[in-house]
Structure 1
Amino acid sequence: MPFNVPTLRQLIETGKLDIEASLDQVLPKFGIELALNSAVSGSLRDVYDYQSWIVRQIIPTSESEDQTIIDTARTEGVIQKLATAATGPVTLIGDVPVPLDTQLIHSDGRLYTVVLSNAPIDGEVLVTVEANEPGADGNIDDGEALTLVSTVPGIQPNGTTGEISGGADLEPVNEVLERLLFRKRNPPMGGAVHDYVGWCREVAGVTRAWAYDRYQGGSTVGYAFVFDGREDIIPNSSDIATMDAYIYRHSDPATGADVGRPAGVEPININLQLLTTDLGIGLTPDSSELRKSVQTSLDSYFKTLSPGQTLLLSAVRTAIGGTEGVTDYTLDLNADVPAAANQLHDLGVITWAIA
């Protein structure tokens, strides 16, 4: 049976009745007794509030304090992923090695430091750079330009990047909570299918992951993962190589013990492709705030879908019509949208119209 925490007004009224019963008289409208009763009732309400706060910390939920979630997750072996700096190759034109700690800059002001320099080959020098600031903003697509901050004799100032990746922001607390709940519901089993999902989500920047038993026959496990914090959520070749090595063998973030795929099992990365669906929606009433709420609801639904899962028209309608404040709407989607086994649904452009 639930316990209803009394309001301050109820506590004051109850205290007043108790005092009158004890004194066997009606208290005057203004007096020391009522003043003391209000003060004690306020303190008692603070105690109730503190007890309610404790209840929300005992079992971590979305209502718990961030630090409670982080600390509890740590005791369960789920460590919050720290921000990481992006790294990758840059090709410079020249005939001498580039000194370590040389600075390069992107046109938007992002700085990178040379951490490894190879010997010149055919007039080109391949160096490895690391972003000065950790975070997803340090990732750069293949083929962009970086410029030397200071002149290096024998090296031309402009270089061309390869895939500079691996940068990730500090893991949000809500994702720590998701991983904690997943681990409690799916305890580590030394190579069970759900372990591959847990391993993928331990890698910095990975927000969603899936795994499938017997993906290409016996003793195979298919796995896929995405980076929702990036503009392009599909992993690149560097991400896939990093994940493959991590699944093969890595140190457990909590214990430091070596863990990974068991012998005799072949993990197979699923070459994910996005299946983008554009929507035309008209809302009644129509406002910018309501549009943002509807888009948030649709984003939340799309992120529940797994590769190969069908986009349900009824679920899209529910996401729109179930948004608080929407009384009516129009939608140009008329049927479910199926997906191939390696396709993941992605919300495209929403064209807003007057319903």
Structure 2
Amino acid sequence: MYTDRDKDQILSDMLESVQGDVDKREGSVVYDMLAPPSEEIELLQHVLEAVSENGFIDTAQMEYVDLRAMEYGEYRKTAEQAKGWLLIADKAGREINIDTVVMTEHDGEPIALQIVEYNVVPESGEVTVQAVAVEPGDNGNIPAYSDMTCVDLPEAIITNPIEFLGGVDRESDEELKSRVLLKVRKPITSGNIYHYELWARQIAGISQARVTPLWDGPGTVKVTVINSEGRAPTEEQVLAVAEHIEKERPIGATVSVVAIKEVPIDVTATIELEGGLLPEDIQEAIEQSIAEYLSEAGTEIRYSQISRAILRTEGVKDYDDVQIGADGIMGNDNVLISADDVAIVGQVTLT
């Protein structure tokens, strides 16, 4: 809107408007006086364009998204720390102090875990203590039995018997915009479907919610929640949604909040690869491509779209004999799941 003219066009227009028989050639006094302002005017046009875009929630960026969202009573969800348990094997009597830092690695990045409770290694030589990721965010959700070290416990063997959970990244601009637009564009009022969806999505780590009214008779509502990665949220997140809705819901409503049920979609395929690649070289890339499709697939997993996800992976030249399925039943038909389910990548076998 404001950037239709560049500095050359602006300079040309200004020279054209100069009255009288004066020298307007490059290097003339008039030209040299108008050339610098034309550059500044071009810059100001871009500033005005940004000001205009930041005035609307749909096109706002960075802190302006927060400012526009606050006008509608919505606030960006902050990052959350991952939590879990550490199993420490050390000599009996060893003290495990609060704030002891344990180091591990996840996706190639170092992760610091902080022990949050005091304990002493018993005669058995093993003790379990609670810990949290020092830095909040999704990367703190480390898998079970990760390798760990601790400067303060040099002789200890430390691991986590179960994965760390609950780590959530700071809400993205797009997620916050989506939540605000839901509030603005949908008729949210008096505890209707959209109201329950908004309440659920106000909790950190929850990006989607499916609301089923009257699911168990009059006055009942079921809210099925999905996390920011399109998967089942943790029990802690489900409880947080339930507690939040309980404070907001209309009097008389009986609300059940449940996590979406994950349905692994298994895939087998024979693939022809480029440049001497082997199936294991692009296994992860194909799984990621399938996951991107499944995140938008809804309740019908299309055979053709799974095949397309394989073919569009870089390095894949052609494919044959693709089969998809769930619960061990494979074929070349579409796979249907219920509204309370979400499809995730299962076992992908490539030959």
TM-score w.r.t. the length of structure 2 is 0.68
Match of 1:47 in 2: 44
Does the CA-based 8 Å contact 1:206-1:227 persist in structure 2? yes
Separation in 1, partners of 2:17, 2:319 = 59
Opposite residue 5 of structure 2, the aligned amino acid is P
Does the alignment pair 1:37 with 2:19? no
Residue of structure 1 in register with 2:172 after alignment: 172
Distance 1:335 1:194, change over 3 A: same
Using the alignment, how far apart are the partners of 2:254 and 2:238 within structure 1?
Answer: 16
Distance 1:29 1:245 in 2: 68
Whole-Å separation in 1 of the counterparts to 2:260 and 2:50:
45
Q: Deviation string for 1:227-255 (max 9, x for gaps)?
A: 419xxx433xxx2244224323479xxxx
- 1:57 Cα deviation after fit: 1.0
Change in 2 beyond 3 A, CA 1:295/1:52: farther
Q: Residue 310 of structure 1 aligns to which amino acid in structure 2?
A: E
Paired amino acid for 2:139: D
Letter in 1 for 2:232: I
Query: Quick check: 2:93–2:122 contact (8 Å CA) kept in 1?
Result: no
SS at match of 1:44: helix
- Residue 70 of structure 1: CA displacement? 2.0
Unaligned runs of 5+ in 2: 276-283, 324-331
Map of 2:77 onto structure 1 = 81
The answer to whether the 8 Å contact 2:232/2:260 transfers is no
Q: Distance in 2 between matches of 1:116 and 1:304?
A: 42
Secondary structure, in 3 states, of the residue corresponding to 2:336?
A: coil
Aligned to 2:225: 224
Partner SS, residue 38 of structure 2: helix
Task: Return the offset for 1:119.
Answer: 9.9
- 2:264 touches 2:343 (CA, 8 Å); kept in 1? yes
| In structure 2, distance between residues paired with 1:176 and 1:281 | 41
Query: How much is the aligned-residue C-alpha RMSD, in angstroms?
Result: 4.8
Partner of 2:8: 9
Q: TM-score, normalised by structure 1?
A: 0.68
SS state at 1:203 partner: coil
Q: Does the Cα contact within 8 Å between 1:193 and 1:211 map onto a contact in 2?
A: yes
Aligned to 2:68: 72
Looking at structure 2, the residues matched to 318 and 125 of structure 1 have their Cα atoms a distance apart, in angstroms, of: 50
Change (3 A) 1:182 1:298: farther
How much identity, in percent, do the aligned residues show? Answer: 17
Match of 2:301 among 308, 311, 325: 311
Q: What amino acid is the match of 1:339? A: I
Aligned: 1:135 with 2:158: no
CA offsets 1:114-142 (integer angstroms, 9 cap, x no match): 32458999967553222223222222445
- Confirm or deny: 8 A CA contact 2:287 2:345 kept in the other structure: no
1:79 CA drift (Å): 1.8
Give the 3 Å change call, closer, same or farther, for CA 34–106 of structure 1 in structure 2. closer
**Measured at CA, do residues 335 and 42 of structure 1 come closer, stay the same or move farther in structure 2, by a change above 3 Å?**
farther
Partner residue of 2:253? Answer: 264
1:84 Cα shift? 1.9
